Chain A
């Protein structure tokens, strides 16, 4: 561990990363949930290899979405409870950047492990190598947007005790476009009438839009609820 002076935002990223790793909750638990969810699917719909191969990308996407949702509610609430959130307001960096950095650190600690686990879980769903690649690439492009949208939900429910369910209700409808284009791009990687690039580029565009807009919405919610 090195302790030296760094920029405020890098210091924030390192702190978020260390807390996530040290507590060990979000990353590992998300992956275990992901594994459990994917394991349940063949039990529910039957072990038909063709069927599983066809719906596999969609299952992986829904499981990744649910697993991401698990950890959002603590994103700002933990900081609100221990008083850090007030102090983060007093820094030199604008709150929008603080929100963005916190979301990025959260994605690195809990979103990235899901993406790394996805190809292995895909094997359980009879996925071809090309389909596994498609799922990984689309998750890589799409999950940052889910994290950023989740950031809005976490900010809006920061003062709500046990606001996890409320947050899921707020966030899930907003992720529908990401899910549609993420799954269709992943399906297109296996083959079909749609070329891979058209849904994939729309997915990338939505992620970039989320990068541009979500930090402002989340910071506005935090400011409004600050009192």
Chain B
């Protein structure tokens, strides 16, 4: 993608980064434009206690990182810090495309315990809002709302108010948000909570597809994901 070398400023300032459409590769040095998440010496303090202490890792295009650890080990804190939602004490988190640094917040999906959906709006209205809000330009890999709902198995609830869904259905609608606005880096905090077995398999497939397309995933979980993750980080 020559656009990067020709107009680096534009790609940095642009609302939504164009992801290189080169053949997806799981090898770390696949192409010079490949996306990399670099975390160096990251320390995060919360309420006066250093929860994350000097953590560093590199994640290449197509790789998934499973963050494991006991309750309170700092998995959620790490993910929030990666998303830029917490101030860091030391260290740096960078998302690089080739030699260029790209805006991390605008290329990141963050999914935590709260679904980020309004109970009074329908599933369709909620997803339509996030699709418009999170993807300023429609990305070719963004799915339509109907496609995303069929992937998570929630097609029948398109027009249902979000407040009327069960806990597992709410979770599936929240997972559909990751699909309607394409962003390469997924930061997932316990994504499988309240999901039934069929939905777990479906979402594991969606995560695998995301990696194969050149996405990156950092996921905090206690449960096996059901697909061969490439890396593991124990806190």
Contact = CB atoms under 8 A, between A and B. Distances in A.
| A and B are interacting partners | yes
Interface of A: 1, 3, 5-8, 10-12, 14-15, 18-19, 22-23, 81-84, 86-92, 226-227
Nearest to B47: A227
Interface in B96-136: 105-106, 108-110, 112-121, 124-125, 128-134, 136
Contact of B86 (A14, A23, A226): A226
A227 B121 contact: no
Nearest to A81: B114
A90 B121 contact: no
B15 A15 contact: no
Contacts of B86: 226-227
Contacts of A3: 124-125, 128, 145
Chain A facing B: main interface SS: helix
B167 interface: no
Interface in B32-71: 46
B148 interface: no
B106 A91 contact: yes
A11 B125 contact: no
Nearest to B44: A227
B16 interface: yes
B83 interface: yes
Nearest to A91: B133
Contact of A6 (B106, B113, B114, B132): B132
5 contacts: A7-B136, A10-B132, A12-B133, A90-B109, A92-B106
B23 interface: no
A86 B134 CA distance: 12
A148 to B, nearest CB: 22
A86 B85 contact: yes
A8 B136 contact: yes
Contacts of B114: 81-84, 86
Instruction: Classify chain B's interface size.
Output: 35 or more
B172 to A, nearest CB: 16
A8 B138 CA distance: 11
Contacts of A82: 114-119
B168 interface: no
B87 interface: yes
Pairs A-B, 5 closest by C-beta atoms: A83-B114, A11-B132, A22-B120, A83-B116, A92-B15
Nearest to B114: A83
A92 B12 CA distance: 12
A227 B84 CA distance: 10
Contacts of B84: 89-90
Contact of A83 (B15, B115, B133): B115
B125 A87 contact: no
Contact of B132 (A7, A84, A90): A7
Contacts of B128: 3, 11
Contacts of A10: 132
Contact of A86 (B46, B83, B117): B83
Contact of B112 (A7, A86, A92): A86
B120 A19 contact: yes
B188 to A, nearest CB: 13
A153 B215 CA distance: 40
A178 to B, nearest CB: 31
A162 to B, nearest CB: 19
Contact of A19 (B83, B118, B124): B118
Contacts of B113: 83
A3 B113 CA distance: 27
Specify which of B15, B114, B145 lies most central, judged by the most chain A CB atoms within 10 Å of its CB. Answer: B114
Given A7-B132, A7-B136, A82-B117, A90 B83 contact: yes
Contacts of A14: 129
Contact of B105 (A8, A15, A18, A89): A89
Contacts of A89: 83-85, 105
Given A12-B129, A86-B110, A18 B115 contact: no
Contacts of B129: 11-12, 14-15
B106 A86 contact: no
B132 A8 contact: yes
Contact of A90 (B119, B125, B131, B134): B134
A18 B106 contact: no
